[in-house]
Amino acid sequence: MNTVGLHLRISSDINETVRAAQALEINSFQCFLIDQLTNRYIDCNSPQVKEFLTARSAYGNLYVHGSYWINLSGKETAHSITFLQREIEMAKRLQFNALVLHPGSATGWNEREEGIEQFVRLFNSLIKEERELKFILENTAHGNRTIGSDLHDLKAIYDRLEHPEKVSFCIDTAHAFAFGYDISQMEGQASFVQLIKDTIGLERISLLHLNDTDEPLGTKKDKHQLLGQGKLGNALQQFVQLKEFGHLPIVLELPPMEMVDQKRMISLARSWRE
C-alpha cells in the first residue's frame, strides 16, 4: 500500500478539503470538523455537505481528528462527552471511515490510573452501540497527567475495552520521539517496534502519522517540522520502510505552508514507499 494522505485545514467550508485533495492529488485525508475562522463546528446540514457527499466516492479512507476540546480522562467530562457525541454523528453524516482520538489528561484526579479508568468507562459507553464508525487511539507527546504518550497506557485501555474490534491505534512519530522513544536511530527503532509488540500489538496499528519534529528527544513538546528537516531527519525514511509499517496508510500533519511545499512533502513520503 502506498497511500499518503494529509491533514487538511477547514477555514469556512468542508469542501475546501475536497478541492485541496484534488489539487494535491491525494485520495485520503484527515481533518478537524471545525471552522478555523470561527472556532465552531461546521454546519452538517448545509448545501455544502451535499456537495461533499457527492464527491465522497472518489476518495478512500477519510479520518476525522477529534477536537482538542475532548478529554475523556479528566474528572469533569460533561462537555467532552457532548463534543465527542457530536463529532461521531458528524463523521457518520459525512461518511468518514474513522475518528482519531487522543485519550486526554487525568486532570482533577489524584492518580493517572484514575484518568485511565475514567477514559475506559466513558469510551466503552460511547462506542457500545456504534456500528458504522471505527475509532483510532493515537499516542501523544506530553508528560505529567497526559494519557497515551506511554504505550503502556494504550495497552491498559485496550485490555479493558468491551468492544476491542471497534478500536485500533495510530502511531505518531513526532509524538513518540518528543515523549522519549528514540526512533532517530535504528537501534531505537528496533526497541520501539518491540515495545509495540509487547503492548498494543503491531496487528492493531491501522494508521501512521508520519511527522518530523523541531523538539529534542524527551522534551514532551509537540511541534511538527517538514519531513526530514527536524530532529528525526533521515530516520523517518528508515522508520517508514520497516517491514512492520510498510503496509500502513500514512497521514502527514504538516505545519502551515504553501501548496507547492505540501506537494513536495507528499512526493517525498511516497518516494520512501517505492
> What integer is the mean pLDDT of 122-147?
97
Which carries the bigger pLDDT value, residue 12 or residue 266? 266
Percent of the chain with pLDDT over 70: 99
Looking at the predicted structure, is the pLDDT value of residue 175 above 60? yes
> What integer is the mean pLDDT of 231-258?
96
Conformation bin of residue 88: beta by default, left when phi > 0, alpha when psi is -120 to 50 = alpha
Q: Closest Cα to residue 205, out of 231, 173, 229, 179?
A: 173
Beta bridge partners, 170, equal: 138, 207
CATH ID of 4-273, from 2.60.120.560, 3.40.50.670, 3.20.20.150, 3.40.50.460: 3.20.20.150
> What integer is the mean pLDDT of 204-226?
97
pLDDT for the residue 45: 77
Each residue's pLDDT tens digit, 80-113: 999 999 999 999 999 999 999 999 999 999 999 9
Domain boundaries, the chain: 4-273
Whole-prediction pTM: 0.97
- Residue matched to cell numbers 477536537: 67
